[in-house]
Amino acid sequence: MITPKHLVKKIKGDYRLIVVSDIHGHLDRFKALLKKVRYIPEDYLIILGDFVEKGDQVIETIHFVEELAKRERVFVLMGNCEWALDALLTIPELANQIPGYLKRVSSNGCIREVYHRLHLDNGHETMLGIQKQIADYLHNEIAFISHLPVTLKLNSFLFVHAGIEKRKDYRNSSLSSLLEMKYFYNQGHLLDEVVIVGHMPTSNYFSDKICNDIIIDLDKKIICVDGGTGVKSISQLNALVIESKNGVIHYAQESVQPLPIHEVLYDVNPENQKQHKIAYPYFEVEVIQKGDQFSECYQKETNQYLKIKNEFLYTRHQQTYCLDDYTDYFIEAQKGEQVKVIGIYDQYAYVIHQGNVGWIKVDCIK
């Protein structure tokens, strides 16, 4: 069982510091991001946890992060996914939860990869036996993640995966708060330091639009980094860049979002519209009127009427739901501008244009 560890470090003089969170086994995206921010060993690099599970390159990501962590200026913190991975494979009482984990929690990840690699799906092994074999296979990886700290206090910053409780003695926050707290940005804290977190995708904090950019709120003394990689279909991997020169701190952000880019063929000027958004946890909707491309729907908890693309609607147990975060915004764009294409759905493309997610007719883009 993991015992929470807390680090305190001090940087003297000027520095450049890069913060990345919630990589979730997307090693190619992480490497591209490090290249984009021009990371060098002289920089400080902080990884805010959740670099495991959900992606297709989890074991490779652990090895890459472990190599980075050998550098003096690299600090890797634990997230709830590292904690869950360690617990699931080292606590015998949790062995019976492995099938449920594979079914409900992780569509990808190292547990699933090893489970199939060792042919443990043949039904010839007990749950305890499966747990032991996977743990033995991942012995070195578990040893690395089990010793990660949960907080890092560095100069005027406190880094933690999810959040801290409203108390000055932040180290006495519960482990569930440090690793799993929801909506920390809304709750706030009592410290003098700026608290920098991941865990909760930043788009969850926007009620009317899909936006994965870093939230920097120096009034609240909170910075939220998680761009939703591995969790949301529309996501990006973010890097917060902090530079201190002569005691003055500057913030910048970069991101990687590997989507195909298309050119707009002619001006598109939809009528004035109010933007609506479906987001966690309110995905249940009522279909008011079925349409050929979009259906008029109502979302009760947020009291919104909006048009949902038919491909985004599904029914389960006689209830209708929207598949994921969704907006009914129709893009305004000029000829020659570029859009990132999230997906093509019949006559419409779901795109990102100048930071806005929305819909545009397929015949409008090259």
Range(s) for CATH 3.60.21.10 in the chain?
7-79+148-256
Write out pLDDT tens, residues 112-149: 999 999 999 887 889 999 999 999 999 999 999 999 99
* Helix, coil or strand: residue 295: strand
Q: Is the C-alpha dihedral spanning 81, 82, 85, 88 positive or negative?
A: negative
Mean pLDDT to the nearest integer, 266-295: 92
Confidence of residue 103 (pLDDT cuts 50, 70, 90): confident
Q: Is the pLDDT of residue 248 over 80?
A: yes
* Alpha-carbon distances, residue 122 vs 92, 126, 207, 362 (angstroms): 21, 11, 46, 46
pLDDT of residue 355: 87
- Specify the pLDDT at position 239: 98
Lowest mean pLDDT among 14-28, 75-89, 100-114: 100-114
Q: Thinking of the domain 7-79+148-256, which architecture would CATH place it in?
A: 4-Layer Sandwich (3.60)
Q: Is residue 106 over pLDDT 60?
A: no
Query: For position 104, what pLDDT does the model report?
Result: 75
Alpha-helical runs (H) found in the chain: 27-36, 58-68, 80-90, 98-100, 110-117, 127-137, 139-145, 175-180, 184-187
Looking at the predicted structure, is the pLDDT value of residue 291 above 70?
yes
Per-residue pLDDT for 1 more than 90?
A: no
What tens digit of pLDDT does each residue of 153-175 get?
A: 999 999 999 999 999 999 999 99
Lowest mean pLDDT among 231-240, 266-275, 330-339: 266-275
Q: Which residue carries 């000029």 as its tokens?
A: 334
pLDDT above 70: percentage of residues in the chain: 99
Question: Could you read off the pLDDT of 35-89 as tens digits, one per residue?
Answer: 999 999 999 999 999 999 999 999 999 999 999 999 999 999 999 999 999 999 9
Region 239-253: mean pLDDT is 97
Q: Is the pLDDT of residue 108 over 90?
A: no
**2, two tokens:** 């993991």
Strands, E, within 130-247: which ranges?
Answer: 151-154, 157-160, 194-197, 215-217, 222-224, 237-245
Strand-pairing partners, residue 282, are none
Q: What is the pLDDT of residue 33?
A: 98
Q: What's the pLDDT at 272?
A: 72
Helix (H) or strand (E) holding 17: strand 15-20
Phi, psi angle pair for 240, to nearest 5°: -90, 125
| Overall average pLDDT of the 292-320 stretch | 96
**Average pLDDT, stretch 198-202?**
97
Mean pLDDT throughout 336-364? 95
Whether residue 105 has pLDDT greater than 80: no
pLDDT band at residue 233 using 50, 70 and 90 as cut-offs: confident
The answer to whether residue 200 scores a pLDDT higher than 90 is yes
Smallest CA-to-CA distance from 191 within 215, 163, 216, 214 is with 163
Average of per-residue pLDDT values in the chain? 95
Q: Which of 293, 327, 296 is nearest to 310 (CA)?
A: 293
Report pLDDT digits (tens) over 205-223. 998 889 999 999 999 999 9
